[in-house]
Chains A and B, each alone.
Chain A
């Protein structure tokens, strides 16, 4: 039960951070490329990679908060797959094929790259 509450609180902060970043980006950036979600998923992947390496060998209580509160709760809710897929399909619908492929390949490759860089730094 306490685990679920810790995850839920991380989820609140994660979802709110994503919402605020999305709104802020939407205020200053008007091009069809979904920059907000892209930035969120890339930074979230970096932080999860970092944390996954950082958590190894920590004392149990600290692991509990970092694993359930930060990784599963916060980062899980901060990054999102559903908006990524929805934005992609809307790009197809509006005929923005180039941006569609750029968004898709960019999210996957830069997401994976930043996750491994985070993992590398976190383990150092």
Chain B
């Protein structure tokens, strides 16, 4: 069952990545910087850690739907291989500043977005707990 969920998530995650990437095609062409992949990865990193934490602690959803959304959809939505290829191509065309900026933001900003997702998730949990206490 979880294989099926991962497959469905992977199908839509890959398509969503392509569609969102198309929104940024003009910006990428004008600036020469891979905005599309970076924004997709930043967004996906935030959503994954938020979703995993909330789904484990707060939501009552079956494990296979959780796997379908996290490993399937968000896992396929974000990508690592395009990030490495884009960086290599920036290096090849001697755009060292852009390559450094892209490398730094893809690694550190994505981890920061992941941390932000955790913080927001725990904020939501705390809010729920407080509401439960005062509600009684």
Chain A interfacial positions (CB closer than 8 Å to B) = 3-4, 7-16, 18-19, 22, 40-41, 44-45, 47-49, 52, 68, 72-73, 75-86, 88-89, 92-93, 104, 107-108, 111-112, 114-116, 119
* A115 CA to B86 CA, complexed, in Å: 10
Q: Are B76 and A19 in contact (CB under 8 A)?
A: no
Q: Are A85 and B80 in contact (CB under 8 A)?
A: no
- List residues of B (35-65) whose CB comes within 8 Å of A's CBs: 41, 44-45, 47-49, 52
Q: Say how far A71's CB is from chain B's closest CB, in angstroms.
A: 8
Does B96 lie at the interface of the complex (its beta carbon under 8 Å from any beta carbon of A)? no
Most chain B C-beta atoms within 10 Å of own C-beta, residue among A12, A78, A80: A80
The size class of the interface chain B forms with chain A is 35 or more
Chain B interfacial positions (CB closer than 8 Å to A) = 2-3, 6-15, 17-19, 41, 44-45, 47-49, 52, 67, 71-72, 74-85, 87-88, 103, 106-107, 110-111, 113-115, 118
Whether A82 contacts B41 in the complex (CB less than 8 A), given A11-B13, A15-B10, A77-B75, comes out as yes
Q: Say how far A99's CB is from chain B's closest CB, in angstroms.
A: 14
Q: Are A8 and B11 in contact (CB under 8 A)?
A: yes
A-B contacts, 20 listed (Cβ < 8 Å): A3-B18, A8-B12, A15-B6, A15-B10, A19-B72, A45-B81, A47-B81, A48-B81, A68-B18, A72-B18, A77-B13, A79-B81, A80-B75, A80-B79, A82-B41, A86-B52, A104-B111, A107-B80, A111-B84, A115-B84
Q: Are A82 and B45 in contact (CB under 8 A)?
A: yes
On chain A, the residues within 8 Å of B17 by CB distance are 72, 76-77
Q: Are B74 and A82 in contact (CB under 8 A)?
A: yes
* A44 CA to B83 CA, complexed, in Å: 11
Q: Are A111 and B80 in contact (CB under 8 A)?
A: yes
Q: Say how far B35's CB is from chain A's closest CB, in angstroms.
A: 15
On chain A, the residues within 8 Å of B77 by CB distance are 82
